[in-house]
Amino acid sequence: MNLLQSSSQFPTVRFLHLHPSSPTPLRTRSLPVRSSLLPFTNQNAKYHRELEAAVDVVERACRICVDVKKSLFSSEGRIVEKNDNTPVTVADFGVQALVSLELSKVFPSIPLVAEEDSDFVRSNNLVDSVVSVVTDKASSSDKPLTNTDVLEAIDRGGKSAIVYGTRPATYWVLDPIDGTKGFLKGSEALYVVGLALVVEGDIVLGVMGCPNWQEASSYNSTTDVQGSESVPSRSGIIMVAHVGCGTWARRLSDLMGVSAKAPNVWTRCFVDGCHLVPKARFCISDSQTWESGPLSAFFSATSDADCVSDKEGLLLPTCCGSLCKYLMVASGRASVFILRARAQIIIKAWDHAVGIICVHEAGGKVTDWKGSELDLAADPVERRILLPSMGVLVTNGTIHKQILEMISSTS
């Protein structure tokens, strides 16, 4: 059974009355919010202009991912590996270059913290391929992009591009493709383009684009709200969050070559209403097992949604990358994402920043295993590393304290 497509288990988005304080949101039909880019006005959102720019560039970045993916496994496609054996394609670098170029045009004074740098592109003769995909999606300009333009754009977000020091700072945080392994596996595995804006230590907005997000075609509520008679099983999703304005999502059907009849409609997202830990739906790190986690001392877990006993939790199938799991919690498909920190694994800011605000604004909670908020300035020089105590806990908020107490009792 594919849990990502089970309409009985996972509503695609919880759209309802707009009161996230309600412990168990009711799945009721809401009025769609139509907007060219955002579901709320600039009077309600301090960073409305920044969020509009972020939505626009993430959408175009998703198009890069889809286009590259189409050719990935053809005779012309190319897959290479970085020195750490993480699969990567021109899509990673193309997305970073595009986002860097577009944001620097509108907000030249806001720096970028991102995953890649151009050394790998240069050494693997990928420059022309990256320039090609960026040129195709970049906004029009009086002069064509050069190799230098694109390489410098990548390095604008690279390591040591800027030194922040201990002072408060404003900067973008980008994960070009979170879940690159999922990107390479095929359509079944999720991957995300994630972009967030940090202002003086606080995440104020975020955008996640997931081109192969799966919707259940039998889930009528989505059809009602979107106003379409036919819902494609893989329409993609873009999720946005702004501090104080909630988390919202809409489809990206056109990215998959589907001619969508639905207008540009946003729906409000909320976390699920689960209030008992064993009844929760769990995500864990791809590299970890349930038995190695702190909750295994209390109950076991199964990935078979049809055969969950009273002494088991439901463990969702692996979706690559951390941001995919944040998206699962923010959309109400999962109740918990739990990540154990390990000495040999560095926890990067771009794997969490946009997910944090999307979960928070959807009514959920994110802390380390001791209950402290994640400190984005834990790396005072480059703002690239997070140092959560023991691990990261992402929940619907309702069961957060219960899980923290369970972790504490086993530590």
Just list the catalytic residues.
92, 180
Reading the block at residue 295, the tokens are: 């909750």
| 294: Cβ contacts below 8 Å, ≥ 6 apart | 338, 340, 369, 406, 407, 410, 411
Q: Beta 312-315 vs 265-269: how paired, if at all?
A: unpaired
Q: Kindly provide the residue ranges of all beta strands, DSSP E only, lying in 243-299, ordered along the sequence.
A: 246-251, 265-269, 281-284
How many residues comprise the chain? 411
- The values of phi and psi at residue 186, to 5°, are 125, -170
DSSP 74-133: STT---EE-TT--EE-HHHHHHHHHHHHHHHHH-TTS-EEES--THHHHHTT-HHHHHHH
| 125: Cβ contacts below 8 Å, ≥ 6 apart | none
Report the alpha-carbon distance of residue 407 to residue 230 in Å, rounded: 44
DSSP 117-169: -THHHHHTT-HHHHHHHHHHHSPP-SSPPPHHHHHHHHHHTSTTS---TTS--
Annotated binding residue 351: yes
Annotated binding residue 178: yes
Reading the block at residue 93, the tokens are: 């670098």
Element (H, E) at 313: strand 312-315
Under 8 Å between Cβ of 199 and 172? no
Annotated binding residue 155: no
Report the alpha-carbon distance of residue 382 to residue 161 in Å, rounded: 8
Annotated binding site for Mg(2+): 115, 175, 177-178, 351
